[in-house]
Every structure is written in C-alpha cells, then in structure tokens.
Amino acid sequence: MSILILLYSAYYYGGLYQIPYLKTIGQLIFFIMIIYIVIKKYIFNKYISLSFIVFFYLFLAFWTISTSPHPHVDTIIVLKEAPFKFLQGINPYNTTYTRVYSNILPNYYNYLPFSILFFLPFDLLFQDPRYALLITNFLSFLLLFKMVQNTYKKRALLPVSLILFLPGSFYMIEHAYLDQVVFFFFILSIFCLKKSYKTFYLILSLFFSFKQNLILLFPYFINIKHIKKYYFYILSPFVLIFPFLFWNPSAFIKNVVSSLKPEQITSPINSSLTVPTFIINSLQITWNIKPNVYMTCFFIFVLLYIYVLFKKNVSISQKTILIIFISYFFSYHAFFNSYFLVGLFIVYDFIKTEFIPSELKKQLP
C-alpha cells in the first residue's frame, strides 16, 4: 500500500508555480526513488535505510522551494510580512500586505497570533516561511519514527515516510499551508507525553494556536481531571490572543473570526471542496437561498460532532480524523490543504496501531 501511495505522490509531484522543466526533473527523481525502493524491497528483499529516505525528502523539498521562487500565493506573503510588521510596531491584523491578486485588497491576516511568533525566526533566517514547513514536516517524521518499537523499525520506515511523501506534500510546502506545522506540534506533544503532562499540555496547546477551527478538538484532548492541575500549561499560549485583541479589537475580530464568511472574497469559496458548495453549484442556487444551505449543513455537522464526541470504543486519534473531516466537509470553506491534515492523522493512527509499543500506545491519544 505504501508503494502505491508513493507512486500516486510522484505522479502528482510539485506545485503550481514551479519552473516546468525543473518540476519534471523533480518528478523523475521521485520516480527513480520509488523504482529503487521496489527493486531493493521486492527483488533483493532488503529494507530501505533511514538515510535514504531523509536524503530524498530533503532533496525534493529544497528542490521544490528553489524551483518555485516566487509562487503567486497570498499565504506566503502574509506569513513572510506579518512577523516583520510586528517587529516594526505595526499591528499584523490592521495593515495591508503586498498585493498578490488584482481583485483582492490584501488587508487580512487570518491565523492566530502564535503563528506570527513561530514564523519570525524562519523569516529572519531564510527570508521564506516555507522552510518552516520543510523543517517541521521532517521533524514530525523523525519523532514518529523514534516512537516506533525497535523490533518494527525497519518494517515501519516506509509507512512512516508517508508523513513526508503524502500526495500533495510538496504542493503544501510550495504554498506554505500551515497544516504540516500544526501536525508537528501534535506529534511533538505526544512524544513528550511519556515525560510529563505539563510538557504535553503546553505543546498541545500550541497545536491549537494556529487555526481557529482546531478548537473543535479541544474537548477530545483535554482530560477534565487534569484541567485544575495543569490549567496554566493548557491555557498559557492562548494569552497571546489578548494583546492583539486589545491592540485593535475590531481588526482582530474581523481577521480571526469573521474574515472567512461566505460573502468574503479573500479565497475562492465558490470552488471549495465542501458539501454546501457542491449543492449550490449543482443546483445553481441563488444568493438569497444560500444561507439556508449553509445552515442546514451546519446543523448536520453539529449532530455528527455530538455523535462522535460521545461515541465509545473510538480512539481520540480516530475521532480527530472524523471531526476535522466533517468540520471541513460540511463547511463553506475548505480546499485540498484542509483535507491534507486529515491524511496526516490517518498515517499517525495507522503507525500508532501497528508499530508503537503497547505500553506507550495506551497513553497516546
């Protein structure tokens, strides 16, 4: 199965803005890697080494960034400019960024405040926020592989490498979508779980400190018995919200809470991969009826959310997969990157089930 996924990934390798012939070279290198894996695994009956996987991932990741130096993507611009504006004393939630799309005024920053601090060192060091995704994705792979039981190391390497090579992973890097960064903090938190709950909750709270919709997962991960004991570690990163909220309340609320309403044009909502969009486009529904579609889908989501919340004999990681999926599937705003995070959690759940020691597995979400 891993080989089939890798083949699919290689076929769809690359971003939208890579230099075409260099993108083709990257794709050929990806296929050469897979051919080598197949020959070594199925002809010589030998396992692939960790250094082999690391080398090809780093090569393809750096290749993707270097061959797509100026992608036409607003995410990269805001993640690059917001930290520097903050250093200059300019409110990132109340400013204008470099224009990317001619019909959209770039006066929005839709992520939570911790993202500004997180990307600051990468912008200072590399002048490009995409290196943050390259590095965090690589670290997620290493941490998850380190959690694998020693007797399974060789057999688990290829499945764990899907963290690096999921279909569209290099497209995610090119566009600087945050889902790989978010997933890294989840993996880092569970890696630290065996050390202390304090560290676990502190890092897990950073997992919730990038994208607003992830708060839906909060009830699944926070043990009620632990709230009183570890409340400082659970809530401390959220303190970052208040300085920006007090700096300019209306600007912060506009950017973080109401910026992605259906009537906004900061993203192509009419092309989103969701149930409401499918219904609206298929039936050619007029604007005055659209709110009814959105509300109906929202009601369905709430029912499913409650059902999953109280569903027994389902692991937290499996509930996470379901909640992230339905939260996007029945919303009005979701694209490929939204579902990519679901794919990462599916890989994690599989690795946890098949290769992580049972004594550690019992502790993991």
**What's the rounded Cα separation, in Å, for the pair 157 and 233?**
33
- Global confidence as pTM: 0.92
Q: What is the DSSP string of 238-302?
A: GGGHHHHHHH-HHHHHHHHTSTT-TT--SS-GGG-SSHHHHHHHHHT--TTTHHHHHHHHHHHHH
pLDDT digits (tens, 9 = 90+) for 35-69: 999 998 888 888 889 999 999 999 999 999 999 99
Tokens of 5: 């996924």
**What's the rounded Cα separation, in Å, for the pair 206 and 185?**
7
Strands (E), the chain: none
**Per-residue pLDDT at 309:** 84
**Per-residue pLDDT at 354:** 86
**Per-residue pLDDT at 216:** 87
* 265 pLDDT more than 60: no
pLDDT digits (tens, 9 = 90+) for 73-127: 989 999 999 999 999 999 999 999 999 887 788 888 989 999 999 999 999 999 9
* 233 pLDDT more than 70: yes
Look at residues 222, 221, 187 and name the one whose alpha carbon lies nearest to residue 351: 187
**What is the residue-averaged pLDDT of the chain?**
88
Q: Is 335 exposed, middle or buried (0-12, 13-18, 19+ CB in 10 A)?
A: middle
Mean pLDDT of all residues in 148-177: 92
**Per-residue pLDDT at 225:** 66
Residue pair 21/1 in contact by the 8 Å Cβ criterion = no
Lowest mean pLDDT among 76-80, 288-292, 309-313: 288-292
Q: Tell me the domain boundaries of the chain.
A: 2-267+335-361
Tokens of 226: 């632990």
**Per-residue pLDDT at 58:** 97
**Per-residue pLDDT at 207:** 92
